[in-house]
Amino acid sequence: MRTGAARYFDGRTSARHDVTLELAPHALVIRDGAGVIVDQWAYIRLKHLSAPDHIFRIGLRKNPLLARLEITDMELAHEIDVLAPDIDRTGASARRDSRRVIGWASFAAVTLVLSSIYGVPLLADRLAPVVPRGFEQRIGVATNAQIRAMLDKGPAGRPFTCGDAAMEQTGKAAFEKLVRRLETAADLRMPLTVAVVRRAEANAFALPGGYVYVFQGLIDKAETPDELAAVIAHELGHVAHRDGMRAVLQGAGLSFLFGMMLGDFVGGGAVVLAARTILESAYSRNVENAADRFGVQVMLGLGADARALGRFLQRIAGDTPGGFSILLDHPTAKERAAAINAIAPPQSRGVPLLDAAEWAALKRICAGYRI
C-alpha cells in the first residue's frame, strides 16, 4: 500500500503534526509518528483547498472542524487526486465550473440589458396610469421646487415668473385666456399650472403633477398665437399622458437595474451613463411623438392651425441638429414636422386663437424686467 509523509492539523488546536498517510482502498489513513491511527478520511469526502503552488492542501467536506492535510510530495498528491472523485488538480472541473459561471453571468447580463430596453418602459407605461394623483402631485411639488432653483439664475429680487408686474398684467390675461382654451379642448381633468418664466432659450417643458413651463425665449420667437398654442398643446399632451410620472418610474427602474444590480465595477459607471442616456432618449422620442399627436388633436379641436408646431419647430431648430441624433431626447424637427403634417390637414386659416391686440400684449408678458 502506498504511503507518504504529510503535515496534519486536526482543527482543534493549531499544533502541527507530522504524519504518515496510507492510501487504503476507500480512505486515507492518517498515522502519527508512533504509528497510531489519528484519523481516516474517506476519498469521497475529500476537497481540494487553495494553497501555494508547492503544497497540495486537502480538507473534509461537511466537517465542522477545519482539519487540514498538507502534502508536498507531488506524486502522492497525484495518487490521492486519482482516488478522490471531487479532487481534480488538472483544473478540468474548475474550468467547467468557471465556464458555467461565465455562461450564466453573461446570460444575466443579456437579461438585464433586454429588461432595460423593453421591460422598464412597459412597466412604467402600466404603472404610470395607476399611480395615485396625490402621489404624483407630491413628486411634482418636490421636482418643481428643484427645477425652479436650478433655472432661476436672475438677480435677487427679480421675480422668476412673468406676468405679475403692473405692465405685464394684460399680457398675463391674454396668456391665461389662451391656456384656458387649450385646457378645455384637451379635457385634462387634472390640476394644471402653466407659468411663463424669464429664460432666454426657446423652450418649454412639463413636469409631473401638471406643472408646465414656457420660456420667455419661446414667446419672443413665436410669430403667431397658434405657434405658441401648439407648443403648449404639446406640453398638455405630456400632462395628459402622465409622461413626467412615467419618466420618474423609468428613471427609478433604470437606477435599480444598472446602479444596484451591476454594482460599480471600474469603468462600469460610464457604461451605465451611456446606456441610460441612450435608453432614456429612446423612450422619450416615442413619448414626444405621442405628445405631438395629442397637440395636433387639441389644435384641430379648437379649429386652429395644427401644422403650426412643425413649422415653428423647424424655424427655431434649423434643420441641422447638433451632436449625435441617437442621444437627442426629441426627434429632429424635420421628422416631427413630417409626422405632424401626415395627420394634420392643411388649414384654411381659421380664426386665430387670440386677436392682434391680445397677441401683442402677450408678447410683452415679460417686459417688466430685463432678461
Partner 1 sequence: MTSSDAGSLAAAPGPVDQQRGNVRFLGRDRPYWRLLARGAVLLMLTLGIYRFWLITDTRRFLWANTEIDGESLEYSGTALEILLGFLVAIAILVPLYIVFFLAALDVGTAGLMTIIAIVALALIGQYAIWRARSYRLTRTVFRGLRFRQTGSGVHYAVCVIFWWAMMAITLGLAYPFAQASLERFKLGHTHYGNLAGQFEGSGFRLLLRGLPLWFAVTAPTLIALSALLTVDWAGIGRIMQRGGTTGDILERIAIQAPEFYGAIGLFVVAIGFAVCAAIILFPAFQTIVMRWWISGIRFPGIDVSSQLRMFDVYKAYLRFIGYLLIFALAMIVVTFVTFALIGSLFGSSAESKFAEMFTILAMVGLYVVSALGLSTIYQATAKLSVWRLTAQSSDLSNASMLDHVTAAGTAGSPLGEGLADALNVGGL
- Closer to partner 1 by Cβ: residue 50 or 348: 50
CB of 25 to partner 1, least distance (A): 26
Q: In what order do the strands lie in the sheet with 204-207?
A: 193-197, 211-215, 204-207
Using CB under 8 A as the binding rule, whether residue 338 contacts partner 1 is answered as no
Task: Report if residue 261 touches partner 1, rule: CB under 8 A.
Answer: yes
Q: Report the alpha-carbon distance of residue 134 to residue 136 in Å, rounded.
A: 5
Q: Is 211 in the site for partner 1 (CB under 8 A)?
A: no
Residue 195, classed as helix, strand or coil, is strand
Closest distance between partner 1 and the C-beta of residue 256, in Å? 7
Residue type, 179: V
For partner 1, the binding residue among 256, 286, 303, 329 (CB under 8 A) is: 256
Q: Scanning the structure block, which residue is given the C-alpha cell 467547467?
A: 96
DSSP category for residue 155: P
Kindly indicate which of the ranges 186-194, 213-221, 261-269, 339-347 contains the residues binding partner 1, using the contact rule CB under 8 A.
Answer: 261-269
Residue 9 Cβ, how far from partner 1 at the closest point, in Å? 3
Q: Which helix (H) or strand (E) holds 151?
A: helix 133-151
Stretch that binds partner 1, among 103-111, 199-207, 236-244, 307-315 (CB under 8 A): 103-111
Distance CA 272, CA 260 (A): 11
Interface mask (CB under 8 A) for partner 1, residues 108-147, using x and -? xx--xx---------------------x--xx-xx--xx-
Those residues whose C-beta lies under 8 Å from the C-beta of residue 132, and which sit 6 or more positions away, are none
Q: How far is the CB of 349 from partner 1 (least distance, A)?
A: 37
> Which of residues 111 and 286 has its CB atom nearest to partner 1 in the complex?
111
Q: Which stretch binds partner 1 (CB under 8 A): 25-33, 99-107, 190-198, 340-348?
A: 99-107
CA nearest 230: which of 199, 193, 200, 204?
204
Instruction: State yes or no: residue 326 binds partner 1 (CB under 8 A).
Output: yes
In angstroms, how far is CA 286 from the centroid of its own chain?
16
Among 25, 52, 157, 346, indicate the residue that binds partner 1 (CB under 8 A).
52
Query: Nearer to partner 1 by C-beta: 149 or 190?
Result: 149
Task: For partner 1, give the closer residue by CB, 249 or 309.
Answer: 249
Q: Min. distance of Cβ 227 from partner 1 in angstroms?
A: 29
Sign of the CA dihedral running 245, 248, 251, 256: negative
Of 262-301, binders to partner 1 (CB under 8 A) are 262-268, 270-271, 274, 278
Stretch touching partner 1 by CB under 8 A, among 50-58, 179-187, 305-313, 355-363: 50-58
**DSSP per-residue codes, 301-355:** HTT--TTHHHHHHHHHH-S---S-GGG-SS--HHHHHHHHHHHSPPPP----SS-
Taken in order 316, 322, 325, 328, is the CA torsion positive or negative?
negative
Angle of CA points 98, 104, 106, to nearest 5°:
100
Our finding on whether 16 is near partner 1 (CB under 8 A) is yes
Identify which range of 6-14, 85-93, 161-169, 308-316 contacts partner 1 by CB under 8 A: 6-14
Choose between 118 and 324: whose C-beta lies nearer to partner 1.
Answer: 324
Q: Are 178 and 197 in contact (CB under 8 A)?
A: no
Decide: is 327 part of the binding site for partner 1 (CB under 8 A): yes
Strands 17-23 and 193-197: unpaired
Binding flag, residue 317, partner 1 (CB under 8 A)? no
Query: Cell 420618474 appears where?
Result: 248
DSSP string, 274-311: HHHHHHHHHHHHHHHHHHHHHHHHHHHHTT--TTHHHH
Task: Tell me which residues touch partner 1 (CB under 8 A).
Answer: 5-7, 9-16, 18, 49-55, 57, 65-68, 70, 72, 98, 101-102, 105-106, 108-109, 112-113, 135, 138-139, 141-142, 145-146, 155, 256, 260-268, 270-271, 274, 278, 324-327
